Amino acid sequence: MGWGPKMLAALTDVGEAETAGGRALLAERYRALQRQIPLLYTICLANLLGLHLAVTKGFASLVHPSTLLIPLILIRLYHWTRTRNADMPPERIVRELTLLRGGGETEQYYVILFGSLASIGCAYGLSSFPGAARLPLLFLALPLATMLILSPISGHVGLGISIALIIVLILRLLSVHNESFVKLVESRVQVEAERERARRAEKAAKAEKAKARRIADTDPLTGLANRRAFLRSLGRQAGLIERDGGAATLAIVDLDGFKPINDTFGHAMGDAVLEEVGRRLTAAGGPASMIARMGGDEFALILESCGDEAEAQRAGRAICRVLEDAVFIDSREFHISGCCGLTILRAGDCNVTEALIRADTALYRAKEQGRAGTAVFSQEMGRLQRRRTRIEQALRRPEERDLISLVYQPIFDISNNSLRAFEALARWEHPELGTLSPAEFIPIAEQVSAIETISDRLLEAAAAEALLWPDSVRLSFNVSAVQLCTAGCAARILAILGNRGIHPRRLQVEVTETALLVDFATARTNLQALRAAGTRIVLDDFGAGHASISYLREMQFDGIKLDGALVASVQSTGSRRLLKGVVDLCASLGVPCVAEHIEQESELDLLRGLGCRYGQGFLLSPPLAAADAAALAGGTVTRLRRAAA
């Protein structure tokens, strides 16, 4: 016997059947197995039943992999129990306990074939888990190959070597497959990680975009929507009304009394007031409203629940009421109010730009009512707005704007009836709009940035006319608020005079306290420059506002022109006392005063009696054309109707 068969016999104990003692030992081993295997099957049966109970939670399901093994275990248990005490020849014992020691050569080849195929099939099925795939090759196919190689039969040796080579090849394929599988999985993991990073980046980008949109649409101070977001919401609301019908109200609120708070107590206090205003408007508007801060101290609301003028009027008054309550900030008490202009949005009339214009028009009318005024846009307002729009268009067209001309109203020394100056007054005879007064078109010209062009051209024309007057007759010219509060205004006026050859002392500039309110520092700089050049500075419409006395204290004026309302109301005792007080104030300051709008002889007599030195009005002379003014200044015609008195 070669070394291979000997080793196989040693490993399998089949060599024990060669001797009498060995056959006895083999029989005893078999009887021991007869006693132990039933116990082994019993243990397996108990474990399978326990597994079945644990997995299926009872006997409800009999279709389970464990139930398929139970019949086989029971069959084998019955077989080993039935043969427990049976004696068996040694040859049969070897056949029962060994794999290839039974049957003929054909049956052995079957075992080798199906065992190898089974191990290869298992390895293939477990190829994705190489550690498990190697087990059937190493514990089934490899032992078969080893046994064949160790067989004394030469044909078996070649077959065993072939199977071993196949095993090695399959093991190699498993390693290659595993490497590819690992790379594939890693690639998938990387791709999924990249996708996840891309998803997170996209999510973060969307969040940042949403945050940026919120920031772009939110007023940083009040937390309300800003103008951009409000206009977008107004457009959506207008679209819904056009599509579905219904109505809504657009309201614009402008605060009264906010600027003094901001200027006196600083921007931090002003910001706190605006925040409180935002909270109050939010509460007043309700959940069905869109509230926004449009800029500065202006707010806007879309009131979806207001669909007619009566409701809009009530809503406007309610908004104004919530603003009238005192505001307490840092133990300080502030009182503000607001004016509200409203317009109703209806189907067929929902243009956003037009709606804003109508609301602004209504706000302008509300401000004319005084503090806490409310106005709803009406057809009459619409007519006035269309006229205003046409005036704006005309002011932007040079051929229409140049139709503005000048007339000259004399200013007399009413104590001796002598001519002292001419006030240049703008007049506009428009072929379509008719006669336009300065009170109508000058504010519009300021808003459309046309006032400087108009004023410069008119000043050049007036200066050219003043060359025809005696040097003792001054030119009195009104300077608008926009001009006065623009840096370089004084230099431009002096340049125009220089180009015309008129000394600045012949010019008398009239300014209103309203102009000083816009930008006091710039206005004072321009007026000081003009005064330093010799130009007289006259405060116009004194008594029409509430801050005139403070300006008299802070700035030096060469004359004060009384507001026409003071002269027109002298019939009452109280008004006469007020007029006398103002004239006495001017006298105490050493500043001459000029009374305008003198239309009755009783008014002229009273003013003379009060000590007012200068005057103008229709009683003395209406505004004159340039030629008539030159004739009056030259002494060829007398216009002072009281000269003969």
Helix (DSSP H) and strand (DSSP E) numbers for the chain? 26, 16
CB 296 within 8 A of CB 256: no
Structure-model confidence comparison of residues 628 and 10, the more confident one: 628
Give the H/E segment covering residue 100: none
Is a pLDDT exceeding 70 seen at residue 438? yes
CATH class name, domain 227-377: alpha beta
What pLDDT, on the 0 to 100 scale, is given for residue 17?
54
Beta bridge partner(s), residue 538: 510, 559
What is the average pLDDT across 630-644? 62
CA within 13 Å, CB half, 576: 13
Question: What confidence category does residue 568 fall into, taking pLDDT thresholds of 50, 70 and 90?
Answer: confident
Is a pLDDT exceeding 90 seen at residue 60? no
- CA pair distance 371, 452, nearest whole angstrom: 31
What pLDDT, on the 0 to 100 scale, is given for residue 21?
64
Is a pLDDT exceeding 60 seen at residue 103? no
What pLDDT, on the 0 to 100 scale, is given for residue 94?
61
Token look-up 């300021």 returns 446
What pLDDT, on the 0 to 100 scale, is given for residue 80?
73
CATH class name, domain 401-634: alpha beta
CA distances from 395 to 100, 339, 368, 385, 399 (A): 119, 29, 24, 15, 9
- CA pair distance 427, 408, nearest whole angstrom: 10
- Residue ranges matching CATH 3.30.70.270 in the chain: 227-377
What is the average pLDDT across 558-584? 83
Give the H/E segment covering residue 571: none
How many other β-carbons are positioned within 10 Å of the β-carbon of residue 344? 21
- CA pair distance 178, 172, nearest whole angstrom: 10
User: Residues 519, 524, 529, 533: is their CA dihedral positive or negative?
Assistant: positive
pTM: 0.57
Which amino acid type is present at position 13?
D
What is the average pLDDT across 233-242? 91
Strand 593-595 to strand 614-615: parallel, antiparallel, or no bridges (unpaired)? Answer: parallel
The average confidence (pLDDT) of the chain is 83
Q: Is 249 helix (H, G, I), strand (E, B) or coil?
A: strand
DSSP secondary-structure letter at 242?
H
Where does residue 203 fall: left (phi above 0), alpha (psi -120 to 50 degrees), or beta otherwise? alpha
Question: What confidence category does residue 63 fall into, taking pLDDT thresholds of 50, 70 and 90?
Answer: low
Q: Considering the chain, what percentage of its residues have pLDDT values greater than 90?
A: 37
- Residue ranges matching CATH 3.20.20.450 in the chain: 401-634
CA distances from 379 to 191, 349, 358, 376 (A): 67, 13, 10, 10
- CA pair distance 122, 174, nearest whole angstrom: 12
- CA pair distance 256, 264, nearest whole angstrom: 15
Strand 289-295 to strand 559-562: parallel, antiparallel, or no bridges (unpaired)? Answer: unpaired
SS (H, E, C) 598-634: CCCHHHHHHHHHHCCCEECCCCCCCCECHHHHHHHHH
CB 255 within 8 A of CB 297: yes
| Token digits of residue 387 | 């006229």
Where does residue 35 fall: left (phi above 0), alpha (psi -120 to 50 degrees), or beta otherwise? alpha
| Token digits of residue 529 | 């420059």
Which amino acid type is present at position 555?
M
What pLDDT, on the 0 to 100 scale, is given for residue 85?
66
What pLDDT, on the 0 to 100 scale, is given for residue 8?
44
Question: pLDDT (tens digit, 9 = 90+) per residue, 15-40?
Answer: 555 666 666 666 766 677 677 777 77
Structure-model confidence comparison of residues 265 and 412, the more confident one: 412
| Weakest-pLDDT range from 205-209, 359-363, 638-642 | 638-642
Is a pLDDT exceeding 60 seen at residue 231? yes
Is a pLDDT exceeding 70 seen at residue 312? yes
CA distances from 96 to 20, 34, 79 (A): 19, 12, 13
Structure-model confidence comparison of residues 77 and 454, the more confident one: 454
DSSP-assigned letters across all residues of 399-445: HHHTTEEEEEEEEEETTTTEEEEEEEEEEEEETTTEEE-HHHHHHHH
- CA pair distance 48, 66, nearest whole angstrom: 6
| Token digits of residue 130 | 């190489």
Token look-up 């109703």 returns 344
Helix, strand, coil percentages in the chain from 3-state DSSP, rounded to 5: 60, 15, 25
What pLDDT, on the 0 to 100 scale, is given for residue 636?
52
What is the average pLDDT across 424-451? 92
Strand 474-478 to strand 418-430: parallel, antiparallel, or no bridges (unpaired)? Answer: parallel
Which amino acid type is present at position 613?
R
Is a pLDDT exceeding 80 seen at residue 14? no
Is a pLDDT exceeding 70 seen at residue 380? yes
Which of 579, 584, 633, 622 has the alpha carbon at shortest distance from 602? 579
What angle do helix axes 438-447 and 379-396 make, rounded to 10 degrees? 70
Question: pLDDT (tens digit, 9 = 90+) per residue, 576-607?
Answer: 888 888 888 888 888 999 999 999 998 899 99
Give the H/E segment covering residue 593: strand 593-595
- CA pair distance 447, 16, nearest whole angstrom: 124
- CA pair distance 23, 555, nearest whole angstrom: 140
What is the average pLDDT across 84-100? 62
| Token digits of residue 314 | 């009530």
Is a pLDDT exceeding 80 seen at residue 197? yes
Give the H/E segment covering residue 644: none
What pLDDT, on the 0 to 100 scale, is given for residue 64?
62
What does the angle CA 463 – CA 643 – CA 645 come to, to the nearest 5 degrees?
A: 160
Which of 92, 160, 171 has the alpha carbon at shortest distance from 124? 171
Give the H/E segment covering residue 25: helix 20-56
CA distances from 181 to 116, 130, 135 (A): 25, 10, 19
User: What's the distance, Cα to Cα, between the start and end of the chain in Å?
Assistant: 170
CB 567 within 8 A of CB 596: yes
Number of residues written out for the chain: 645
What pLDDT, on the 0 to 100 scale, is given for residue 25?
66
Give the H/E segment covering residue 66: helix 65-82
What is the average pLDDT across 179-195? 86
Question: What confidence category does residue 11 fall into, taking pLDDT thresholds of 50, 70 and 90?
Answer: very low
